[in-house]
Amino acid sequence: MIPPRTEHREDDTFLRLALLAGRMGTWTRDLADDSMRWSREFEALLGLPEGGLRGRLDTFLERVHPDDLAALLNGIDRAIAGREDCSVEFRARHENGEWRWMNVRGRAVYDTAGKAVSLHGVGIDFTERRLAEDARLPSRQSSKPPMTPSSARRSTESSPRGIRQPSACSATPPGR
């Protein structure tokens, strides 16, 4: 039985444990000035200490794989314009050089005039699941060995993929 809540601090502890277990972190973007706030769990997914992304969108975008950057930005823009939740998969460079598969999911907040003022969401590292799927599916295999954490660390490239856009608010690499 889950004990009743006693303190806000206890709730924060439960949330942090759940985020860590789910390989997730949270983020918020102020659309007026593009400032960002990431939870320490999100920054840890990228191997960074708390504050490592310096509250700047461009610092984060520098870590996004060049082949995935446009799809990430377009997916977010379409979700805002369509007033829909967003879910975008992409690769991000971990501090140790590995390319990690990430999924960001978010929702915009709009003012009374209908203008988007902020975005709030989660980032999920699903690299291990993606690598297992890549190893199982012949359509994702090529003459090169599948991208493993150690091979990703040695190379900044993985098999280039176009990005399929199945709906107005999501972007997923082909074969998904």
Give all domains of the chain, ordered by start, each with its CATH number.
21-172 (3.30.450.20)
- Three-state SS for 143-161 is CCCCCCHHHHHHCCCCCCC
Cα–Cα distance measured from residue 147 to residue 141, given in angstroms and rounded to the nearest whole number:
10
Give 14-63 pLDDT, tens digit per residue. Answer: 767 766 666 889 999 999 998 999 999 999 999 999 999 998 999 999 99
Contacting residues for 40 by C-beta, under 8 A, at least 6 apart: 25, 50
pLDDT digits (tens, 9 = 90+) for 112-121: 999 999 999 9
Reduced DSSP (H G I as helix, E B as strand, rest coil) percent helix, strand, coil of the chain, to 5: 35, 30, 35
What average pLDDT does the chain have?
Answer: 79
